[in-house]
Each structure stands twice: as structure tokens, then as C-alpha cells.
Copies of this chain bind each other. A is one copy, B any other.
Amino acid sequence: MKKRIVVNLPVEELPKSWYNVKADLPFKMDPPLNPMTKEVMNPADMTAIFPKAIVEQEISEERFIEIPEPVLDEYAVYRPSPLIRATFLEEFLRTPARIYYKYEGNSPTGSHKTNTAIAQAYFNRVEGVTELTTETGAGQWGSALSYAGRKFGLTVRVFMVRNSYETKPMRQHMMRMFNGTVEPSPGENTESGRNFLKNDKNYPGSLGMAISEAVEIVLNSKDKKYSLGSVLDHVLLHQTVIGLEVERQLEILNEKPTIMLGCHGGGSNFGGFVLPFIKRKLEGEKIEFVACEPESCPSLSKGEFRYDYGDSAGLTPMLKMYTLGRDFVPPTIHAGGLRYHGAAPLVSRLVKEKIVTPENFPQEETFKAGILFATIEGIIPAPESCHAIAGAIRRAISARERREEEVIVFNLSGSGLLDLWSYANIIESNERLLELEGVKG
């Protein structure tokens, strides 16, 4: 009988701290700049939109930051997540590589986003915040934050990019199920929204615009704060539960990864997955980190490393990062979660230092990888996660050609059950994506 190897950690092995890679980096990160003055930002200024605890985490240099008990309790609902050896895929590819994947798609809202949503909702709650505002594109982040808000008794108000709002109702339904409220952005409920609509009443919206609306609400309030789902250091910090679990799971298998891959949009799933392993490379171990981007939005592979704004309106702090420019409008692709002009400063710097390698993928290759994976491994991956799968397949084939043993580990950041329309759409335009040479029969 064929064997699928699944490493399930008992709940007692949930990491008790998040790992802060900054304690181990041989360089200092460039600080955020104030968007008005372009001077180094005073952390206190950030408390206008974030709670104090989050601001402290954003600038902390401590190696480990304890996970509070109530956050651990909520992690225990769905974590630790499994690490699975893709034996069926290995066999299909006839590769000497051993391929493993961490699966985050069984989380309550279907992606890794809940890992930071729960933490952020908790820290806000402790400081007396009653409402969180945020932006969302396709809705992964908005639904994760709605779920987390529900858990800690916070109201969550989500500004959803209008174009997605009108075409992707499923994740809106999920937000409502968890008592979140959703409104299309730009909309009539904020000044920024109204101004925007004045210029173009058919504007399809953008993440940058939605951020402006969400931030505007909290600037005029005492008990409301804003919450961000990627890019910033504290978000990557919370996501390190992923990599820390993988570390333990690989240890149980007595495996040392030689290639680690994750898809890369803002950088949170990629960062959370690889940051705990960065030290190994700094210490001379042979290990490659690959950030898998869409060809159509190659921030890390083709962007410039410089200070830029996080949003298109220029209201957020300026971050030193790889950027395609805040005016860059990525083409509409199905992996909505990867359509971001910039990249997490932490990942950007690791790319700059040649510790992380960016690689980009045409959309068809990623969907072909996803369809293959669903058929062979029995999990339908999110279009974002398909980028990591495509990367793993490239490396597995290369290992076959070089006849070299590799230990490939990738992060499968989310389930694609809510993205079936995207698959149908791609298949319709190219039926050959369904051809899987070598499938049984």
C-alpha cells in the first residue's frame, strides 16, 4: 500500500512564542519614514492607528515574543497544522527529491491569515478597542479578521475593493457569518471614498484606496483601530508559528530542508514560513529560500529597492522595500492575494542581501501545477498557493535532471474551494491545462 506521511503535532507542541528574526540578522533594518515629513517615524505616532502592544512588536529586537494564553487557546482550535510528505506527487514526477508541504488551508477561514488576525484582535481587545477596520481584496484577510473579531467580541468593519465586492460574494458571506460588516470601496461612508467617487463614479477600487478608507475611520476615533494583514514586521512575526511548527515537524522526520518555497504577495505567509530557518543559512548551511511571485506582479524580482508608500494615496508610513511603484496597477489575475506593488521590508532586505531568491511564474504554469496537485495529492490549492507548488515542481524536476537528492519544503497557504471559478475560467481558456501525462489509466 502506498504511504502518505503526515506529521501531526499534538496541541501541547504549539509554539509558545513567536520568533523575531531581527534578533539574529547581521544588519539593522531601515526604519519606516513619516509619510508627511519623510523623517524617521516616531513609533508613538503609529499608536494613532495600531494598539501599543502591536507597535512594540513592530519595533522589538527580542528574539522570542511570548504568545499570550488566550491567543494560544484560539490557535488550539485549528493548530498545529499538518506537514505532509507529497509521496504521490514525488512518484508522479519521478523525482529523487523528497517533497513536503505545510498545509494552512484547514484553518477556520481557509488560509494562514487567521494566525495574525487572532493575535491582532486579542491585543486590540486588551487595550479596550471595540472596533477594527481593515481593507480586503478577494476577502481572505477580511474573513480571517471577522472570525478573530467574533472570538474576542470586537466589531469588524471591512472595506472590500469594489470590483471584488461585486464579483466575489463567497468570502463576503463568510465575513457576515462571523458578524463582520462589509462595504464596497470606494464608498460614500468616508471622505476619501466620496472624493474618489467624485472623480470617477465607476472606479473599480484598489487595495490602496480601501486602506485609506479604513485608516480614515480610526483617525477620527478613540476606540477604533486599524488592522493590516501583511507586509509589516509584526504580521510576519505572528505568522512564524507556521515555520516554528515546520521546524519541529522536520526534526521529528530527521530531515534538513535544502529548498524552502512559499508564494509571495505582501510577504506574510512566505515570511512566517521561512524566517525561523534564516539563521541556518547565515550559519553556512546549504539551504535555498525561494519567494514565488506572479510574472505579472514581480515586486521582488523586478522592483526597485527603495522607500515607498504602502498605499496608493500615500497616507501610510514609507517603507524600505522592493516596489514596482505605488502607482503600479497589476493586471487582474486570479491570485488576488499576490497583487501588491510592494513587499514586506523584511523579505525585501533578505532578497537584497541575497539570502532569499525571488522567482516568478506565468499564471498558466501555476494553475497547471494546482490542477495536477489537486488530482494527485487530493487538495485543491488557492491560486496564490499554486505559485509555491509550481516552484516546488520546477525544483523537483531539476533534481530529477541533476539526479540529486533534495529536501523541498513548501507552504501551502490556503484552500482553493472558494476559487473554483478561477480554475474553471482558466481551464475554459486552455483545455490543455487538464492534461496530466502519466496519471493512472
User: Given A1-B73, A179-B434, A378-B108, are A420 and B173 neighbors across the interface (CB < 8 Å)?
Assistant: yes
Q: Does A424 contact B (CB under 8 A)?
A: yes
A interface residues, how many (CB within 8 angstroms): 58
The segment out of A145-153, A288-296, A304-312, A318-326 that lies at the interface is A145-153
Q: Contact between B424 and A177 (Cβ–Cβ < 8 Å)?
A: yes
A108 to B171, CA, bound (A): 21
Chain B neighbourhood of A215, CB < 8 A: none
Number of copies: 2
Residue A432 at the B interface, CB < 8 A? no
A427 pairs with B177, CB closer than 8 A: yes
Minimal Cβ-Cβ distance residue in B for A435: B179
Give the contacts of A403-429 with B (CB-CB under 8 A).
415, 417-418, 420-421, 423-424, 427
Residues of B within 8 A of A380 (CB): 108, 174, 177
Contact between B441 and A152 (Cβ–Cβ < 8 Å)?
Answer: yes
- Indicate if A439 sits at the interface (CB-CB under 8 A): yes
Whether A72 sits at the interface, judged by CB under 8 Å, is yes
A300 to B210, CA, bound (A): 52
Q: How far apart sit A150 and B152, CA to CA, in the bound complex (Å)?
A: 44
Q: With CB as the reference atom, state the residue of chain B lying closest to A375.
A: B150
Is A315's CB within 8 Å of the partner chain B?
A: no
- CB closest residue in chain B, given A171: B420
Taking Cβ atoms with an 8 Å cutoff, the residues of A that contact B are 1-6, 8, 10-12, 14, 69, 72-73, 76-78, 88, 106-108, 110, 125, 147, 150-154, 169-174, 176-179, 371, 374-375, 377-380, 415, 417-418, 420-421, 423-424, 427, 434, 439-441
